[in-house]
Amino acid sequence: MKKAVPDRIARLRAGLAESDLSGLVVSAPSNIFYLSGFTGSSGALLITAERALLFSDFRYRLQSREQAPDFEFVEVERDLFQRVGRVSADTCAGRLGYESAHLTCELLGHLTEGLQSRELVAATGLVEDFRAIKSPDEIVHIRAAAALADQALDHMISLLRPGATERDIALEGEYFMRRAGADAVAFDLIVASGPRSALPHAGTSTRELQPGDLVVIDIGAAVDGYCSDMTRTFAVQTATEQARQIYEIAHRAQRAAAAAVQAGAICGEVDAVARTIIDEADFGDCFGHGLGHGVGVDVHEAPHLRKGDDTRLAAGNVVTVEPGIYLPDIGGVRLEDLLVVQADGAETLTASAMPAELPVV
32 is an interface residue for a copy of itself by CB under 8 A: no
Q: Is 202 among the residues that bind a copy of itself (CB under 8 A)?
A: yes
φ, ψ for residue 3, nearest 5 deg: -60, -30
Q: Which of 40, 94, 212, 359 binds a copy of itself (CB under 8 A)?
A: 40
The reply on whether position 284 binds a copy of itself by CB under 8 A is no
Number of residues that bind a copy of itself (CB under 8 A): 39
Kindly tell me the burial class for residue 284, based on how many C-beta atoms sit within 10 Å of its own C-beta (0-12, 13-18, 19 or more): middle
> Could you say which of 86, 244, 252, 289 contacts a copy of itself (CB under 8 A)?
289
Site membership for a copy of itself, residue 268 (CB under 8 A): no
**Residue 259 to residue 256: CA distance in whole angstroms:** 5
From the list 5-13, 86-94, 154-162, 195-203, the region that binds a copy of itself by CB under 8 A is: 195-203
Which H or E run includes 87? helix 80-91
Which residue from 57, 70, 269, 279 is in contact with a copy of itself, where contact means CB under 8 A? 57
CA distances from 306 to 129, 269, 310 (A): 17, 8, 9
HSE-CB at 61 with a 13 A cutoff on CA atoms is 5
Among 3, 18, 282, 288, binds a copy of itself (CB under 8 A): 288
Q: From the list 19, 104, 135, 210, which residue makes contact with a copy of itself (rule: CB under 8 A)? A: 104
Query: What's the Cα-to-Cα distance from 50 to each of 12, 121, 138, rounded to whole Å?
Result: 12, 20, 27
Pairing of strands 226-227, 230-235: unpaired
Collapsing DSSP to helix, strand or coil, 294 comes out as strand
Q: Least separation, in Å, of the C-beta of 167 and a copy of itself?
A: 8
Helix (H, G, I), strand (E, B) or coil at 30: helix
DSSP state string for 295-315: -SSSSSEEEEE-TT--PBP-T
59 binds a copy of itself (CB under 8 A): yes
Contact 258, 321 (CB under 8 A): yes
Check if the beta carbon of residue 299 is closer than 8 Å to that of residue 318.
no
Q: Which of 72, 129, 188, 280 binds a copy of itself (CB under 8 A)?
A: 188
Shortest Cβ distance from residue 346 to a copy of itself (Å)?
A: 25
Rule CB under 8 A: which of 125-184 touch a copy of itself?
A: 168, 171, 175, 178-179, 184
Would you count residue 185 as binding a copy of itself (CB under 8 A)?
no
- Smallest gap, in angstroms, from Cβ of residue 308 to a copy of itself? 9
> What minimum distance in Å lies between the beta carbon of 180 and a copy of itself?
11
**Interaction site with a copy of itself (CB under 8 A):** 39-41, 57-63, 98, 100-106, 108-109, 122, 124, 168, 171, 175, 178-179, 184, 188, 198-203, 288-289, 328-329
